Amino acid sequence: MHRHFDDELKDLKAKILRMGGLAEEQVQGALRALIERDSDLARKIIANDRQVNTLDVEVDEDCLRLLALQQPAARDLRFITTAMKISTELERISDLAENICERAIELNEEPQLKPYIDIPRMANWSLRMVKEALDAFVNHDAGLARKVCTDDDFVDDLTHQLFRELLSFMLENPQTITRAIRITFISKYLERIADHATNVAELVVYMVEGKIIRHTHG
């Protein structure tokens, strides 16, 4: 006998939140591995990515089953299709944490180029966007989701600022080029995490209002 449809939707929401929590932990761990120059931790974070991948597959299977068996309408249909897309965004965030760890392991082999100041700021801002996007999902809060979309500009600005700083290092001393490029990659990964948080927020607006704001933020 099938459990009540509402219970299944609650389970789906809980699974998305668990996945979001794991993705956030992956990014936090990757940042710690970079700042503390801890390559063992970086390797552990890379191995942990499997948990998020497994949940992503489970969410997809749950959503497809609910769509096939329950044939939901209107709001429930939007919730299920949104959950399916959000799980993909969260899986990509975890993949980016893995990418940060790979660059951290490489950077830890050489002397540190500069103190990490902008990278933690970018990471904290991006993680806050992820958290707020998930809060908006749980609370059906389109207003908070729209705020997340506008917050993305700050991360973009920091990325450009850091790149200009690293460019000056490379021009002054060619021996810094490899390290500077790896740090640039990390800043781009963090920028993409913020982009994925924005995608989640846009999906939440669609879920709540039935309005597609992708590329418009209207």
Domain presence at residue 34: yes
Provide the whole-model pTM: 0.94
Residue 74: is its pLDDT beyond 90? Answer: no
Q: Output the average pLDDT for the chain.
A: 93
Note whether 26 and 93 are within 8 A (CB): yes
Note whether 104 and 45 are within 8 A (CB): no
Residue 2: is its pLDDT beyond 60? Answer: no
Domain presence at residue 181: yes
pLDDT band, very low/low/confident/very high, at 89 (cuts 50, 70, 90): very high
CA distance 173 to 113: 11
Domain count, the chain: 1
Domain presence at residue 214: no
State the average pLDDT over residues 67-71.
90
CA distance 94 to 22: 8
Residue type, 175: Q
pLDDT band, very low/low/confident/very high, at 1 (cuts 50, 70, 90): very low
CA triplet 176, 182, 183: central angle to 5 degrees? 85
- Any alpha helices (H) in 36-141, and if so which ranges? 39-70, 74-107, 118-139
CATH number at residue 92: 1.20.58.220
Domain residues for the domain of 183 are 5-209
Domain presence at residue 216: no
Note whether 52 and 22 are within 8 A (CB): yes
SS3 95: helix
SS3 103: helix
Ramachandran region, residue 65 (left: φ > 0; alpha: ψ -120 to 50; beta: rest): alpha
Structure letter (DSSP) for residue 84: H
